[in-house]
């Protein structure tokens, strides 16, 4: 046992968890109530009254909902009561403070939920949350000293048993297990489940159910993501995409069919026979409705895309109208609902689906570009997918959303139906599961050192920076995407957060 790690306190053992319970409860409250952190500041309350009066709840709140709201705030009330009791506040002051703090915290959350489209805001939750906070204070008065003193003794027993060497080995084994888990999870973003027998359809899908009203003038497909200045997309040189490296097919649809892709391994586009008006090219031109297909499967094209698991797709088109029904502009698909790739219009919005084991048809993963469709106005869209994340460019300008399919999405789909707007939250959950426990273990190791030397500080800094960098390098290797520096920073931040949380009650 290392003798430099004896936790000396000037307050009871039960107070050694007050800060940690308070921090943990607030983190849980904010995560569970503000998830998926997708804010729409244009949202308004019913009746257009002041948002400070909150909204009218539209959910059918019953006993179970009220019970869960109370339960959510009980740890907060317990932690706050312990925190205040540690500072010798009287019980009347503690009960008053927990009531007031619970009400303020809940009101702040309900106010923010007005601007989260998937959330519901109302005063009912403020009352039940406040009751939960007060119940937590009562629970601490009745059982807090007993429960938390046992928790503190258990913690000290674990610390006494664990040496710094054992902690270091545990960190390496834990991180190694996550590396092993991450590889198959990241593989789920690849094109491994694409159907090689799917043809290309333009202005329609294989089932003939979602005819689109408009004309497509250009279609280009690469087996790599877009790299370069987005502003050059609309320039003549932009068509070349850096000398067309990785170009698989180019369909110039301004002439008469058949349209040669310029690649012998990809079939030409010809009129789609079963949609009468498109049989005659002159009728197609006059009606400005594109109805084309390769007829033959695009096996060679799909295999080339599977080699890199990357894709860029440029499609120039002129929509004829704003139709609320789905209209499929482009698809690589076949009957029975198999869509390897789908680009479609719904009203003024453009939507994209790229198939993978993670984003199959049964999921709700799709990329949306809102309010870009204007009747009879030409639009040039470039979709770039680098193996796990996608970017879209409209008329040479990058769309605001970047969509990242992390291993966290692979974890979450085992438990829930995953959604596109929740993708950032899945990534945070995944990184937290890895790096917060590592930070906690580092925090435990720091207590073993009476006076940390240079070696200890170097090891600590390496763990904070090197482990997130190793994980990012692995994900880059598996998916083929570029390095995302913000994920390395997030991993380092979460490691530090775990370290600080574990020592939040440590005496100065």
First to last CA, the chain: 23
Cis before 453? omega within 30: no
Question: How many Å apart are CA 489 and CA 22, to the nearest integer?
Answer: 25
SS3 243: helix
What phi and psi, each to the nearest 5 degrees, are found at residue 2? -80, 125
Question: How many Å apart are CA 122 and CA 56, to the nearest integer?
Answer: 5
Taking a C-beta distance cutoff of 8 angstroms, is the pair 51, 111 a contact? yes
Question: How many Å apart are CA 206 and CA 2, to the nearest integer?
Answer: 69
pLDDT for 367 = 87
Strands 326-334 and 247-252: unpaired
Q: How many CA atoms lie within 13 A of 486 on its CB side?
A: 4
What would the two tokens of residue 167 be? 């902690």
pLDDT for 6 = 43
* Range list of β-strands (E), 99-142: none
Taking a C-beta distance cutoff of 8 angstroms, is the pair 396, 231 a contact? yes
Taking a C-beta distance cutoff of 8 angstroms, is the pair 174, 440 a contact? no
Question: How many Å apart are CA 23 and CA 98, to the nearest integer?
Answer: 15
What would the two tokens of residue 147 be? 């429960």
Asked whether the CA dihedral 380, 339, 224, 271 is positive or negative, the reply is: negative
What would the two tokens of residue 502 be? 């574990």
- Cα torsion at 450, 454, 455, 459 (round to 10°)? 90
Which portions of the chain are predicted below pLDDT 50?
Answer: 1-11, 236-239, 241-243, 275-286
Question: How many Å apart are CA 351 and CA 373, to the nearest integer?
Answer: 11
pLDDT for 275 = 43
What would the two tokens of residue 469 be? 């960098």
Question: How many Å apart are CA 317 and CA 27, to the nearest integer?
Answer: 47
Torsional class of 288: left (φ above 0), alpha (ψ -120 to 50), beta (otherwise): left
């Amino acid at each position: 046992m290392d003798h430099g790690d004896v936790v000396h306190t000037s307050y009871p053992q039960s107070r050694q968890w007050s800060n940690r319970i308070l921090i943990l409860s607030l983190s849980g409250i904010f995560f569970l109530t503000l998830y998926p952190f997708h804010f729409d500041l244009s949202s308004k309350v019913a009746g257009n009254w002041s948002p400070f009066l909150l909204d009218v709840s539209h959910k059918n709140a019953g006993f179970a909902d009220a019970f869960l709201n109370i339960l959510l705030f009980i740890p907060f009330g317990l932690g706050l009561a312990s925190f205040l009791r540690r500072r010798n506040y009287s019980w009347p002051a503690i009960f008053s403070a927990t009531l007031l703090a619970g009400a303020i915290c809940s009101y702040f959350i309900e106010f923010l939920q007005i601007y989260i489209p998937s959330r519901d805001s109302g005063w009912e939750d403020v009352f039940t949350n406040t009751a939960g906070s007060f119940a937590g204070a009562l629970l601490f008065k009745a059982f807090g000293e007993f429960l938390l003193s046992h928790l503190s003794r258990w913690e000290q027993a674990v610390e006494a048993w664990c040496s710094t060497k054992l902690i270091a080995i545990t960190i390496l084994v834990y991180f190694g297990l996550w590396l092993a888990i991450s590889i198959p999870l990241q593989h789920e973003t690849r094109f491994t489940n694409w159907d090689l027998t799917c043809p290309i359809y333009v202005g329609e899908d294989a089932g003939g159910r979602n005819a689109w009203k408009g004309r497509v003038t250009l279609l280009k497909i690469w087996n790599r993501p877009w790299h370069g200045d987005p502003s050059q997309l609309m320039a003549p040189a932009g068509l070349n995409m850096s000398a067309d490296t990785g170009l698989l097919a180019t369909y110039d649809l301004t002439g008469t069919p058949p349209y040669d892709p310029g690649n012998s391994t990809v079939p030409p586009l010809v009129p789609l026979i079963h949609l009468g008006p498109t049989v005659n090219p002159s009728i197609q031109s006059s009606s400005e409705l594109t109805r084309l297909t390769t007829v033959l499967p695009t096996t060679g094209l799909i295999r080339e895309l599977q080699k890199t698991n990357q894709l860029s797709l440029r499609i120039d088109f002129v929509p004829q109208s704003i139709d609320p029904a789905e209209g499929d502009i482009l698809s690589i698909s076949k009957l029975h609902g198999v869509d390897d790739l789908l680009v479609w219009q719904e009203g003024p919005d453009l939507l994209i689906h790229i198939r993978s084991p993670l984003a199959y048809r049964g999921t709700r993963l799709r990329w949306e570009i809102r309010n870009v469709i204007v009747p009879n106005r030409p639009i040039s869209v470039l979709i770039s997918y680098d193996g796990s994340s996608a970017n879209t460019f409209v008329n040479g300008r990058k769309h605001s959303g970047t969509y990242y399919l992390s291993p966290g999405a692979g974890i979450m789909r085992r438990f829930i139906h995953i959604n596109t707007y929740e993708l950032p939250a899945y990534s945070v959950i995944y990184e937290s599961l890895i790096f917060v426990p590592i930070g906690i273990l580092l925090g435990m190791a720091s207590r073993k050192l009476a006076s940390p030397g240079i070696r200890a500080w170097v090891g600590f800094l390496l763990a904070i920076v090197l482990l997130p960098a190793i994980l990012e390098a692995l994900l880059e290797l598996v998916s083929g995407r570029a390095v995302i520096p913000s994920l390395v920073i997030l991993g380092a931040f979460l490691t530090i957060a775990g370290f600080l949380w574990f020592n939040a009650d440590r005496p100065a």
